[in-house]
Structure 1
Amino acid sequence: MLAGKRILLIIGGGIAAYKALELIRLLRGQGASVTPVLTRAGAEFVTPLSVAALAGEPLHQDLFDLTTEAEMGHIQLSRAADLVVVAPCTADLMAKMAQGHATDLASTLLMATDKRVLIAPAMNVRMWEHPATQRNLATLTGDGILTIGPDIGDMACGEHGPGRMAEPAAILAAIDTALSDGPLKGRHILVTSGPTHEPIDPVRYIANRSSGQQGSALAAALRDLGAQVSFVTGPASTPPPAGVTVIRVDTAQQMLEAVQSALPADAAIFAAAVADWRVKNEAGQKMKKIAGALPTLEFAENPDILATISHHAQRPPLVVGFAAETESVIAHAQAKRLRKGCDWIIANDVSPATGIMGGAENAVHLITADSVEDWPRLPKAEVARRIAARIAATLGPAA
């Protein structure tokens, strides 16, 4: 699949830079050519000679190389490749990409390219979990940047957790996927995400703590496998990814209508945290505080979107629900799957102690009619990729 493909490989500064040497070897073994760019920080970990020797092509390091820049070499470099890969992608490089900085050759190439970009993040666990890095990650995935990893494990600094760069073989597989049409090409997949806001009056509403991060990551992962994605999102704090059809809603009723309008679909994944109830006696004007008197709110049940679509005349062949639980997670999720009539349930424990709701990681159980799979705690982007891969394997190629 990679024969004749040109890869522009940017090697950032981190101990994981040594893995880039093995990645170059694997890429060339698959028939791809590799044009290497080594950052100044990267050169502290691997030598320019070793990178150039393995790539079999000249190494690029300096933005202001008088020989190449006479012909705008950085523009040519950024456009000649079939794919730009950043491995390792440090927190600094992620920040530059997210903020649009072009202060050296690597960041300038990333700003100037018109090709897809795949990053393999690698950094200390605390840097990976820092809110700034997670904000940058959300921005990059929203811009359509592909990601692979990071993995969870022991680090050179002695700490343990997410932050290890994905192994070269995994990056090679991600490159192959990025350059292929994708197993979901020709498939239409519907994804719901985020919370719903149920108004009390024009100012106040009932909501929940869902950030929409997992739903957004799912839409991006399905897009990256070639699917046409309809993304129905409530007012989430995580922005929707690029390259998908975004339908914005506020309430559960609006979400149901948007979902029904998006049918037919090959699969529907209901990751949204839909409010179970709405305020029946919603006020048309802002309710005023009156001393000694509390307002009385009457509740009505919201439409059950998952159950409705599971029994819909245009039911997708695969319907996947989510179950956010705080106790008896698997038992409640199994009962929910039967009650709703969906094919799969992705269940997780959202007790406050887990930090999952609104956090960067998730630990899920995939529940089907035949089995329960317990997945390890992973970054939400990696959970999304695993779910997307399972969906692709289940649906198979489009007719």
Structure 2
Amino acid sequence: MLQGKSILLIIGGGIAAYKCLDLIRRLRERGASVTPVLTRAGAEFVTPLSVSALCERKVFQDLFDLTDEAEMGHIQLSRSADLVLVAPATADLMAKMAQGLANDLASTLLLATDTPVMIAPAMNVRMWDHPATQRNLATLKADGVTVIGPNEGGMACGEFGAGRMAEPLEIVAAVDAQFADGPLKGKRILVTSGPTHEPIDPVRYIANRSSGAQGTGIAKALRDLGAEVVFVTGPASVPPPDGVQVIAVESAQQMHDAVMAALPVDAGVFAAAVADWRVKAQSSQKIKKTREGLPTLEFAENPDILATVSRLTKNRPPLVVGFAAETEDVVALATAKRGRKGCDWIVANDVSPATGIMGGSENAVTLITDDGAESWPRMGKDAVARQLADRIARALA
């Protein structure tokens, strides 16, 4: 997919810059050429020599290098590639991009380019969560910039949370998808997946047996057809796919908030097994056994994500696909659910224990639309995903 493609790689200043050395190698072994631009801060973490050796090209650093301007001016450099990739994209670089600043080579190239731009953010979790960064992120997305990551985890500063740069292979998969020439190229699709965990106390929670396999398969299939996929996942046992924007959540409320923040999209596929209820008053301490008997748990209803999105008057996706996991009267109950929720399609399946579908590798579904109920044969979840993705592609054509 990357054979003959030209990548302009802008390396920002952050500890994650060291990953770019592996990223360069991965891109080149797939046939891409990489032209490196190293910011002044980036050069504090990786040397121009190491970057140049891996790219087998000159490293561009200075906006006012007259030799470079004579050989290849910054305007030409900004437009000579098939993709401009910023990794790591620091909070500073994102702010410059969002505000249209151009006070060094990297920011000038980003302002002057007419080439697609992809960023892999990396920064401290507090910086990532800051309202200013989130405003800048929303602006960049609205401008058509593709965002991969960041991931959640431990950081060099000792804190934990969202802000780790996506791994090189994740970025390569996203670059690969950028050049995919499938029927969903240019479409942005939201997929929810996995279970939600609703806390009872600090050590206990309410959950279900969803593995996240079906949602993950759908995200992969849509990605492979060229879509930009936003993947909102609960704590699933199946790892998320490469090449998609992963947003990890735990509770139904967190999933609701992540979904609303991801809009607008061209389609929403709501495959997550979202808990209907949560404990109304979560205990701040572990609930102990007492002589007074069993504790009483009072429940509250969780937000209905599918119904909320289906009923939006603004930013409603043109296609909303729900899932109905039933244990009896599958088609009748799913048809009623489609009418009740207001979604366009609903994918119904029988998850009674005898089927082995919940948490298993296969699925047998019925697609319910305005045209009626269409039952598909039992097959692997990836095969179900590909068939559903094909149907979505035809609907959005």
Question: Structure 1's 384 and 284: CA in aligned 2 closer, same or farther, altered over 3 A?
Answer: same
Instruction: Check whether the contact 1:178–1:224 (CA below 8 A) recurs between aligned residues.
Output: no
Q: Partner residue of 1:57?
A: none
Q: Partner residue of 2:294?
A: 294
User: Distance in 2 between the 1:250 and 1:80 partners?
Assistant: 39
| 1:178-327 alignment runs, 5 A limit | 181-312=181-312, 313-327=314-328
CA deviations 1:199-246 (Å, max 9, x no partner) are 001110000000000000100100000000000000000010000001
Counterpart of 1:273, as a letter, is A
| 1:328-367 alignment runs, 5 A limit | 328-367=329-368
How many equivalent residue pairs? Answer: 234
C-alpha RMSD over aligned residues: 2.6
TM normalised by structure 2 equals 0.56
Question: Structure 1's 293 and 378: CA in aligned 2 closer, same or farther, altered over 3 A?
Answer: same
**The residue matched to 1:221 in structure 2 has which SS?**
helix
CA deviations 1:295-339 (Å, max 9, x no partner) are 000001111000000011211000000000000000000000000
Counterpart of 1:314, as a letter, is N
Instruction: Check whether the contact 1:193–1:271 (CA below 8 A) recurs between aligned residues.
Output: yes
Question: Structure 1's 202 and 375: CA in aligned 2 closer, same or farther, altered over 3 A?
Answer: same
1:390 aligns with 2:391: yes
TM superposition shift of 1:79 = 5.1
Question: Structure 1's 144 and 336: CA in aligned 2 closer, same or farther, altered over 3 A?
Answer: farther
**The residue matched to 1:190 in structure 2 has which SS?**
strand
Please, which runs of 5 or more residues in structure 2 have no aligned partner?
5-25, 33-168
TM normalised by structure 1 equals 0.55
Q: Partner residue of 1:378?
A: 379
TM superposition shift of 1:291 = 3.2
CA deviations 1:339-378 (Å, max 9, x no partner) are 0000000000000000000000000000002211110001
Counterpart of 1:197, as a letter, is H
Instruction: Check whether the contact 1:190–1:229 (CA below 8 A) recurs between aligned residues.
Output: yes
Counterpart of 2:191, as a letter, is V
User: Distance in 2 between the 1:178 and 1:265 partners?
Assistant: 17
Instruction: Check whether the contact 2:232–2:249 (CA below 8 A) recurs between aligned residues.
Output: yes
Counterpart of 2:318, as a letter, is P
User: Distance in 1 between the 2:171 and 2:275 partners?
Assistant: 30
Instruction: Check whether the contact 1:144–1:220 (CA below 8 A) recurs between aligned residues.
Output: no
Instruction: Check whether the contact 2:215–2:271 (CA below 8 A) recurs between aligned residues.
Output: yes
Q: Partner residue of 2:124?
A: none
Counterpart of 2:377, as a letter, is P
Instruction: Check whether the contact 1:144–1:241 (CA below 8 A) recurs between aligned residues.
Output: no
User: Distance in 2 between the 1:262 and 1:145 partners?
Assistant: 23
Counterpart of 1:247, as a letter, is I
CA deviations 1:117-160 (Å, max 9, x no partner) are xxxxxxxxxxxxxxxxxxxxxxxxx97999xxxxxxxxxxxxxx
Question: Structure 1's 226 and 79: CA in aligned 2 closer, same or farther, altered over 3 A?
Answer: closer
TM superposition shift of 1:182 = 0.6
TM superposition shift of 1:80 = 6.5
Question: Structure 1's 234 and 79: CA in aligned 2 closer, same or farther, altered over 3 A?
Answer: closer
User: Distance in 2 between the 1:275 and 1:375 partners?
Assistant: 26
User: Distance in 1 between the 2:252 and 2:302 partners?
Assistant: 6
